[in-house]
């Protein structure tokens, strides 16, 4: 997955698990450039999402119609809760699903419209463009992925690691260079997910 193909990161909520989500205005153009043409108001079409080796169909809808007076088009990704895409999302994000479902069943029905997941339990769905028309990549970022990322970067001090590498590279021994690469190599998905999580922004200076 190339960073420049990144569209945006959707926080998992009940709607995303069950029926779809609205594309933010700031991200619509990037998303729609991967389609043959923009939809007229009220129009829809089938698009495809590739996730974990499988392809799923969904519908993109320009929900504005001639009656509505919105100045800008509003696009939604829609699917039904009993179809494979929704079921796969529910299984992958089972921690969010369990938390939200518990709150919904125990709380006031009036408060079910939107349930905010606590910061430490949040999960995300990153969306990226692909080279194929009307086809996008879903990159799930679940709580288990966060645990792996935290363990991978825990206690790492970039400056001390860089100093060690500079010291070792003064020796022209090839074996030493290969060993350093092996020590520093991390799971690529960890880095990609960190970029998606923080929107490719530095955690220190923003």
Name which residue leads in pLDDT, 181 or 68.
68
Query: Of the ranges 3-7, 38-42, 55-59, 181-185, which is most confident?
Result: 55-59
Q: At what angle do helices 143-153 and 188-197 cross, to 10 degrees?
A: 110
- Per the CB < 8 A criterion, the answer to whether 119 and 146 are in contact is no
Mean pLDDT comparison of 16-30, 49-63, 133-147, highest-scoring range: 49-63
pTM above the 0.85 mark? no
**Angle between the 94-106 and 84-92 helix axes, to the nearest 10 degrees?**
90
Confidence of residue 176 (pLDDT cuts 50, 70, 90): very low
Q: Which segment of 28-42, 58-72, 77-91, 114-128 scores lowest on mean pLDDT? A: 58-72
| Average pLDDT of the residues of the chain | 76
CB 122 within 8 A of CB 11: yes
pLDDT of res. 1: 44
Predicted pLDDT at 111: 60
Q: What is the pLDDT of residues 81-104, one digit of tens each?
A: 888 999 999 999 999 999 999 888
Q: What is the mean pLDDT of residues 47-54?
A: 92
Query: Which whole number is the average pLDDT over 140-162?
Result: 68
Closest CA to 117 of 136, 98, 141: 98
Residue 4 has pLDDT above 60, yes or no: no
Three-state SS string across 95-159, please? HHHHHHHHHHHHCCHHHCCCCCCCHHHCCEEEEEECCCCCEEEEEEECHHHHHHHHHHHCCCCHH
Please give the domain boundaries of the chain with CATH numbers for all domains.
Answer: 3-141 (2.40.330.10), 143-206 (no CATH)
């Amino acid at each position: 997955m190339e960073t420049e193909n990144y569209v945006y990161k959707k926080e998992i909520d009940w709607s995303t698990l069950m029926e779809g989500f609205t594309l933010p205005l700031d991200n619509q153009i990037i998303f729609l450039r991967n389609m043959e043409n923009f939809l007229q108001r009220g129009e829809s079409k089938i698009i495809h999402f590739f996730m974990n080796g499988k392809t799923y169909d969904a519908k993109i809808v320009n929900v504005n119609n001639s009656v509505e007076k919105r100045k800008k088009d509003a696009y939604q990704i829609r699917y039904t809760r009993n179809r494979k895409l929704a079921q796969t999302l529910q299984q992958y994000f089972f921690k969010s699903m369990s938390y939200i479902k518990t709150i919904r069943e125990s709380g006031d029905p009036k408060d079910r419209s939107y349930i905010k997941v606590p910061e430490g339990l949040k999960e995300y769905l990153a969306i990226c463009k692909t080279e194929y028309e009307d086809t996008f990549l879903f990159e799930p970022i679940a709580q288990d992925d966060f645990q792996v990322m935290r363990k991978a970067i825990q206690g790492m001090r970039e400056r001390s690691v860089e100093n060690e590498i500079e010291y070792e590279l003064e020796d022209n021994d090839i074996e030493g260079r290969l060993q350093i690469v092996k020590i520093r190599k991390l799971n690529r998905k960890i880095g990609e997910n960190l970029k998606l999580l923080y929107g490719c922004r530095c955690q220190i200076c923003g």
